[in-house]
Amino acid sequence: MNDRALALTGATVLVGDTLEPCESATVLVENGLIAAVGQNVAAPRSALVLDMTGRTVLPGLIDSHVHLGPPETTRGVRPGPLARSRAVVDWMRFQPGKRRGFLGHGVTTVCSLGDENDWVHDFRRRSATGALTGPRLLIAGPIFTSPGGHPVATVGASPGADWVRVPRGPDEAREQVGTLVTGADPVDVVKVVHDRGDPRRLSLQPLEPEILDAIVAEAHRHGTKVVAHWGTLEDLEELLAAGVDGLHHLEPRGPLAGWPPHLLAAMVRRGVTLAPTLAATDVVLDADTAAVMRERVAEFHAAGGTLIAASDAGMPSVRAGAGLIRDITLLAESGLTNRAALVAATSAPAQAMGARHIGVIAAGRAADLLVVDGDPLTRLGALSEVAMVLRDGRVVVDRTRQKV
């Protein structure tokens, strides 16, 4: 597609933070941005006009928890030599299959929460310049953990590996965080692992309190948010005391029997977001336990907490793009309205990560757009009927057969 203005006409457009439907509307895109949106928008005579009658335009989806480096695998299936060789090639080519998978499902932004630092910075630069066609990248770079924590004690990550940081004390923690969050190419968020594991299977070492406090304080000193991988209620209490901004995962080791009222109240009062990654746990939990976890999600939402859709793509059986659609569906099955589930994958994560240029259809925002057949507010399955995807105003997926 050339650089001339583009007008998507006749669609129902989900506008603003709350995705209010605006029927028979036009979205005008110029220079990669949304120039105007509404029912009375006039397109320039030189604009390319595409009729989207019967379709819905919504913000491009945001997957707030992915791992870009690992190959896509099926749980319980051991990859053979050929698959491992292909995985190396895909890694060197910056995961073309994953990039297609995300865009093909309307996911125009992903947040990498644990990849090799140099590699994912290079990936982000190439995506930002258009050298690679793929989603917009937000990155944490390496994971902060302890010598006996995940992923060191679980998958055998070397403490010196580029995708982890294992500070030996508060001073080293501050230095490592400072290096990541400052300079010409800082990370977008800091991720910590603070998880005691499961004593019935594998006990893990959480971060020392003074190290955890140092990580959070240094990140906040530079205006960078901190999200945490956690497991138990004791982990949660300590993370809240340290002042983390977001929690990722929701497992039976935590609030299986219910949220402790004081912790739930603290999470809501402080605006701590929760990304339960239901798409990842759904493939490993039995049906009864998974249903209880969805009840906990519903309770958090009912209490006024902010939920964030996140797939944990890169884990076995969680595919790029499809995993987020599954996660949104599971949020709806937890009792959220379709609109609330879609907000959790658009404006809510954008606001939580301070990425105010994405996640909302409004004048001046990036033209990262998803066009689907039908109305996902009334039928969430419409998300799987992708008609067109725009990334920075460029059409990267087109299934409409219109001349673009």
Domain ranges of the chain: 6-59+359-398, 61-352
Averaged pLDDT of the chain: 95
Q: Is 241 helix (H, G, I), strand (E, B) or coil?
A: helix
CA 33 to mean position of chain CA atoms: 22
Residue 374: pLDDT over 90: yes
Superfamily of domain 6-59+359-398 in CATH is Urease, subunit C, domain 1 (2.30.40.10)
pLDDT over 90, % of the chain = 91
Cα–Cα distance, 157 to 69 (Å, whole number): 14
61-352 to CATH, choices 3.20.20.140, 3.40.980.10, 3.40.50.1000, 1.20.1050.10: 3.20.20.140
pLDDT of residue 201: 87
Average pLDDT over residues 142-162: 96
Asked if 378 and 12 touch (Cβ cutoff 8 Å), the reply is no
Interval 53-103: pLDDT, tens: 999 999 999 999 999 998 888 877 777 777 777 888 888 999 999 999 999
Render 16-71 in DSSP notation, one character per residue.
TTTTEEEEEEEEEEETTEEEEEETTPPPPTTSEEEE-TTEEEEEPEEEEEE-SSSP
pLDDT of residue 1: 44
Could you tell me the pTM of the whole model?
A: 0.97
Residues 6+ apart with CB under 8 A from 331: 278, 297, 307, 309, 340, 341, 344
Q: Among all chains, which residue has been given the structure tokens 């630092």?
A: 117
Neighbouring CB atoms inside 10 A of 403's CB total 7
Token output for 202: 């594998």
Residues 6+ apart with CB under 8 A from 193: 143, 144, 145, 146, 149, 150, 151, 207, 228, 229
User: Residue 3: which pLDDT band, with cuts at 50, 70 and 90?
Assistant: confident
Token output for 167: 């500070």
Cα–Cα distance, 27 to 41 (Å, whole number): 8
For 260, list phi and psi in degrees, rounded to 5.
-60, 130
Q: How far apart are the first and last CA of the chain?
A: 6
